[in-house]
Structure 1
């Protein structure tokens, strides 16, 4: 039986993961932002607001936003709309902090199913947000907005990750906590 890494690589090859592809203007990829989904309508609204913001800031780019589960629209509806609009290339990007099961397996598997249903379309796949200095800076900004400078050396910051049994995601969360701790006044 093939390992999960082998299966994952097979899926990525099937969906034609291109990280450095170049495109003519006429076949530039549409952007498909993929969210997890939520039972909380506020989270769903935030996702749709972000997709709308990306559309407004990039008027020449076709942008769709769909979910893996729990919320609408599902990825399949977004791909159907893009196909109806004549899109041939799709760049799918997971809007997730860390790369775990959904970003490693579920989204690529969904793109494989979409490729089978839309054989003329090509799908590229991006990465989760991951460990980024900008996210660490944003964490600092948010904390600074509520914790006065004089109290920072007495304030503990608890960084919590939810829901992953994936060792890579758990390792990345530990790295984020360590990078945030280093060079900051929190105990």
Structure 2
């Protein structure tokens, strides 16, 4: 019997760079595990949609079933992971009785995400020795979900222990209740604390409207270094496969029959 299909579910964006980056990431994951069927779907803006891909995977004929591990391409467990994706999968399972779908966990937190983040910072020119005199702004898209905010805050604390002179979390969007300052304000805050060199690291998977706000905020406040989004990094591709394997092994996760 063949292994379950890995269905990577991305949010989607009107920005064509978003879908291109997602497809590059899933292609890298596919190359790491030849023989595994890896499909890509989007919640909004891009094709194919999640329902369309699941319809394509639904077995034809009167017998047989197909197993699918649906992996949210999300860094934190916020609204899309808790509400949007489960709703889409429930609706599909009701219509497609021979499709058995298991929802995997979100990508973060994971050491592999920090590996990808550090790779992008090295590519932007930040060396290990630079960290002692550099403040880091960990800039994510933004959320009002308390669980997701707590995860990002913990990641910033972990990064602080890897040699940076200071680390501050920030959001691409305007200040949200219980959340973090905008990217530009976080950069200015580090400057006010006496940090002379500031690097901004986008903690996002793919380009789009909110990542562009991170870029604009870094430029507005005069950040010295801006790394790229996590993108199709080798560490992120390995993380997709790790979450897939965890979902297959965890029989407590939802699976329709």
TM range (shorter): 0.7 to 0.9
Q: In structure 1, the residue corresponding to 2:102 is in which secondary structure? A: strand
1:2-151 map, 5 Å: 25-26=1-2, 28-83=3-58, 88-145=66-123, 146-151=125-130
State whether residues 7 and 41 of structure 2, in contact with CA within 8 Å, keep that contact through their aligned partners in structure 1.
yes
Cα deviation per residue 1:134-179 (whole Å; 9 max; x = unaligned)? 2223322322331244432221110122231111001101011111
Query: Can you give the 5+ residue segments of structure 2 that lack an aligned partner in the other structure?
Result: 167-257
Q: Which has the higher helix share?
A: 1
Cα deviation per residue 1:29-64 (whole Å; 9 max; x = unaligned)? 111111111121111101112222333333322221
Q: Distance in 2 between matches of 1:157 and 1:173?
A: 14
Please state how far the C-alpha of 1:128 moved relative to its aligned partner.
0.7
State whether residues 37 and 71 of structure 1, in contact with CA within 8 Å, keep that contact through their aligned partners in structure 2.
yes
CA distance 1:135–1:152, change in 2 (3 Å): same
Give the TM-score, by structure 1 length: 0.78
Q: Which has the higher strand share?
A: 2
Please state how far the C-alpha of 1:67 moved relative to its aligned partner.
0.7
Provide the alpha-carbon RMSD of the alignment: 1.9
Query: Can you give the 5+ residue segments of structure 1 that lack an aligned partner in the other structure?
Result: 1-24
Paired residues, what number?
162
Q: Distance in 2 between matches of 1:149 and 1:169?
A: 28
Q: Are 1:185 and 2:160 counterparts?
A: no
Q: Distance in 1 between matches of 2:50 and 2:114?
A: 30
Moved over 4 A (4+): 84-87
Please state how far the C-alpha of 1:96 moved relative to its aligned partner.
1.1
Q: Distance in 1 between matches of 2:88 and 2:6?
A: 16
Q: In structure 2, the residue corresponding to 1:159 is in which secondary structure? A: strand
